[in-house]
Structure 1
Amino acid sequence: MQNRIAIIDLGTNTFHLLIAEGSGNGYNIILRDRLAVKIGMGGINNGVITESGLQRALLAMQSFKNILDGHGVDVKNTYAFGTSALRNARNGQEIVDKIRSITGIGISIIPGDQEAHYIYLGVRAALGLGHDKNLIIDIGGGSVEFIIADHDQVFWKQSFEIGAQRLLEMFQKHDPIHPAEVSELEAYFHKSLEPLFQALQKFNPSILVGSSGTFDTLSDIFCITHHIEKSPEEVETPLSIEGFYEIHKDLLLKNREQRMLIPGMIEMRVDMIVVACCLVKFLLESHHFARIRVSTYSLKEGVLAYLTDQLKARTSDY
Structure 2
Amino acid sequence: MHELVLSPSEETILAVDIGSNAMRASMACLDQFNDLEILSTLRFPLRLGEDVFPNRKISKKKMQKTIEAFQDLENLKKKFDFKHIKIVATSAIRNAENGKILVEKIKKETGFQIEVINGRKEAELIKRAVSEVMKLNKSRTLLVDIGGGSTEITLCEGEEIIFTKSYSCGTVRLIESGQYKKQKEMIKEFIQEAKKDLSSHLKRKSIKVCVGTGGNLRRMGKLRKIFFKRSNLKVTYEELTAILDEIKTFSIEQRMDYLDMREDRADVIIPASKIIEELLFQFNLPEIQLPKVGLKEGLIISTLKNPPRNIFFS
TM-score, with structure 1 as normaliser: 0.84
The amino acid across from 2:78 in the alignment is D
- C-alpha RMSD over aligned residues: 2.4
Q: What SS class does the counterpart of residue 268 from structure 1 fall into? A: helix
CA distance in 2, matches of 1:168, 1:198: 31
2:31 aligned residue: 23
**Displacement of 1:120 after TM fit?**
0.8
Matches within 5 A, 1:174-213: 177=180, 180-181=181-182, 183-190=184-191, 192-193=193-194, 194-196=196-198, 198-199=200-201, 202-213=204-215
2:267 aligned residue: 271
CA deviation profile, 1:285-304 (whole Å, cap 9, x unmatched): 21111322102200111122
1:225 aligned residue: 227
2:87 aligned residue: 80
Matches within 5 A, 1:131-150: 131-150=138-157
Alignment check: 8 A CA contact 1:222 1:243 kept: yes
CA distance in 2, matches of 1:282, 1:227: 24
1:58 aligned residue: 67
Give 5+ residue unaligned stretches, structure 2: 1-7, 308-314
CA distance in 2, matches of 1:196, 1:297: 24
The amino acid across from 1:188 in the alignment is E
Give 5+ residue unaligned stretches, structure 1: 231-235, 314-318
Call closer, same or farther: CA 1:262–1:209 in 2, change over 3 Å. Answer: farther
Return the match for 1:4 from 1, 12, 32. 12
CA distance in 2, matches of 1:199, 1:262: 43
Range with greater deviation from structure 2 (213-222 or 42-51)? 42-51
Q: Does 1:312 align with 2:306?
A: yes
Call closer, same or farther: CA 1:130–1:265 in 2, change over 3 Å. Answer: farther
1:256 aligned residue: 252
Q: What SS class does the counterpart of residue 254 from structure 1 fall into? A: coil
CA deviation profile, 1:30-78 (whole Å, cap 9, x unmatched): 332222211111332432112222122112111122222222226xx31
Alignment check: 8 A CA contact 1:14 1:36 kept: yes
Matches within 5 A, 1:107-126: 107-126=114-133
2:312 aligned residue: none
Alignment check: 8 A CA contact 2:252 2:263 kept: no
**Displacement of 1:201 after TM fit?**
5.9
The amino acid across from 1:47 in the alignment is R
2:238 aligned residue: 242
Q: What SS class does the counterpart of residue 123 from structure 1 fall into? A: helix
Call closer, same or farther: CA 1:5–1:182 in 2, change over 3 Å. Answer: closer
Alignment check: 8 A CA contact 1:134 1:206 kept: yes
CA deviation profile, 1:239-295 (whole Å, cap 9, x unmatched): 222211111222333332233344243333111111111211111121111322102
Call closer, same or farther: CA 1:198–1:286 in 2, change over 3 Å. Answer: farther
**Displacement of 1:197 after TM fit?**
5.2
Alignment check: 8 A CA contact 1:125 1:302 kept: no
The amino acid across from 1:49 in the alignment is I
2:3 aligned residue: none
Alignment check: 8 A CA contact 1:41 1:53 kept: no
Alignment check: 8 A CA contact 1:8 1:17 kept: yes
Aligned pairs, number: 297
Alignment check: 8 A CA contact 2:214 2:294 kept: yes
Call closer, same or farther: CA 1:202–1:68 in 2, change over 3 Å. Answer: farther
TM-score, with structure 2 as normaliser: 0.85
Alignment check: 8 A CA contact 1:141 1:165 kept: yes
CA distance in 2, matches of 1:36, 1:94: 20
